[in-house]
Protein backbone atom coordinates (compact mmCIF):
# COMPACT_ATOMS: atom_id res chain seq x y z
CA UNK A 1 0.00 0.00 0.00
CA UNK A 2 2.96 2.29 0.11
CA UNK A 3 2.71 3.25 -3.59
CA UNK A 4 -0.92 4.40 -3.20
CA UNK A 5 -0.05 6.67 -0.28
CA UNK A 6 2.74 8.32 -2.28
CA UNK A 7 0.41 8.93 -5.21
CA UNK A 8 -2.13 10.63 -2.95
CA UNK A 9 0.50 12.92 -1.41
CA UNK A 10 1.89 14.14 -4.74
CA UNK A 11 -1.28 15.85 -5.99
CA UNK A 12 -1.80 17.59 -2.64
CA UNK A 13 1.76 18.91 -2.66
CA UNK A 14 1.39 19.89 -6.30
CA UNK A 15 -1.83 21.72 -5.45
CA UNK A 16 -0.11 23.58 -2.60
CA UNK A 17 2.69 24.66 -4.91
CA UNK A 18 0.21 25.96 -7.46
CA UNK A 19 -1.66 27.89 -4.78
CA UNK A 20 1.60 29.41 -3.53
CA UNK A 21 2.63 30.39 -7.05
CA UNK A 22 -0.74 32.02 -7.74
CA UNK A 23 -0.62 33.87 -4.41
CA UNK A 24 2.91 35.11 -5.11
CA UNK A 25 1.94 36.29 -8.60
CA UNK A 26 -1.14 38.07 -7.25
CA UNK A 27 0.90 39.78 -4.53
CA UNK A 28 3.50 40.86 -7.09
CA UNK A 29 0.83 42.26 -9.39
CA UNK A 30 -0.78 44.11 -6.49
CA UNK A 31 2.52 45.65 -5.41
CA UNK A 32 3.34 46.61 -9.01
CA UNK A 33 -0.10 48.21 -9.41
CA UNK A 34 0.26 50.27 -6.26
CA UNK A 35 3.72 51.44 -7.24
CA UNK A 36 2.49 52.51 -10.70
CA UNK A 37 -0.51 54.31 -9.22
CA UNK A 38 1.45 56.23 -6.62
CA UNK A 39 4.37 57.08 -8.88
CA UNK A 40 2.09 58.47 -11.62
CA UNK A 41 -0.10 60.42 -9.21
CA UNK A 42 2.89 62.16 -7.61
CA UNK A 43 4.17 63.23 -11.06
CA UNK A 44 0.75 64.56 -12.03
CA UNK A 45 0.77 66.86 -9.03
CA UNK A 46 4.26 68.12 -9.84
CA UNK A 47 5.72 67.17 -6.47
CA UNK A 48 8.79 65.32 -7.73
CA UNK A 49 9.77 67.44 -10.69
CA UNK A 50 8.66 70.65 -12.32
CA UNK A 51 6.88 70.33 -15.61
CA UNK A 52 8.87 71.89 -18.40
CA UNK A 53 6.80 73.78 -20.94
CA UNK A 54 6.54 72.18 -24.34
CA UNK A 55 8.57 74.17 -26.84
CA UNK A 56 8.47 74.53 -30.62
CA UNK A 57 10.54 76.22 -33.30
CA UNK A 58 9.39 79.78 -33.85
CA UNK A 59 7.84 80.17 -37.32
CA UNK A 60 9.69 82.79 -39.35
CA UNK A 61 12.52 83.05 -36.86
CA UNK A 62 15.43 80.69 -37.45
CA UNK A 63 17.14 79.25 -34.38
CA UNK A 64 14.48 80.51 -31.95
CA UNK A 65 12.08 78.52 -29.81
CA UNK A 66 8.79 79.57 -28.23
CA UNK A 67 6.28 77.94 -25.91
CA UNK A 68 3.88 75.78 -27.87
CA UNK A 69 0.84 76.61 -25.73
CA UNK A 70 1.40 80.38 -26.11
CA UNK A 71 1.50 80.01 -29.89
CA UNK A 72 -1.47 77.60 -29.99
CA UNK A 73 -3.60 79.91 -27.84
CA UNK A 74 -3.20 82.88 -30.21
CA UNK A 75 -1.22 82.29 -33.43
CA UNK A 76 -2.64 85.45 -35.01
CA UNK A 77 -1.05 87.59 -32.32
CA UNK A 78 2.31 85.87 -32.88
CA UNK A 79 2.28 86.52 -36.63
CA UNK A 80 1.05 90.11 -36.19
CA UNK A 81 3.97 90.81 -33.90
CA UNK A 82 6.39 89.05 -36.28
CA UNK A 83 5.23 91.09 -39.31
CA UNK A 84 5.29 94.31 -37.31
CA UNK A 85 8.91 93.66 -36.30
CA UNK A 86 9.82 92.87 -39.92
CA UNK A 87 8.27 96.16 -41.13
CA UNK A 88 10.18 98.11 -38.49
CA UNK A 89 13.48 96.55 -39.58
CA UNK A 90 13.04 97.53 -43.25
CA UNK A 91 14.53 100.88 -44.21
CA UNK A 92 11.99 103.45 -45.33
CA UNK A 93 12.69 104.93 -48.78
Mean of pLDDT over the chain: 79
- How far apart CA 61 and CA 57 sit, in angstroms, is 8
> Among the residues of the chain, which ranges form H helices?
2-44, 68-73, 75-89
Cβ-in-10-Å burial (0-12, 13-18, 19+) of 58 comes to: middle
What is the reported pLDDT for 81?
93
User: 83 — phi, psi (to 5°)?
Assistant: -65, -35
If you compute the radius of gyration of the chain from its CA atoms, what whole number of angstroms results? 33
| Domain range annotation of the chain | 1-49, 55-89
CA angle 26, 16, 31 (to 5 degrees): 15
Tens-digit pLDDT profile for residues 34-70: 788 777 655 555 554 678 899 999 999 989 999 999 9
Q: Does the pTM of the predicted model rise above 0.75?
A: no
Amino acid sequence: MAPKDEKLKEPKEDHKLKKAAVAAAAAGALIWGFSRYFSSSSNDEGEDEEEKPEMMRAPGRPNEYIRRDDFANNPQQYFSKLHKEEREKKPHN
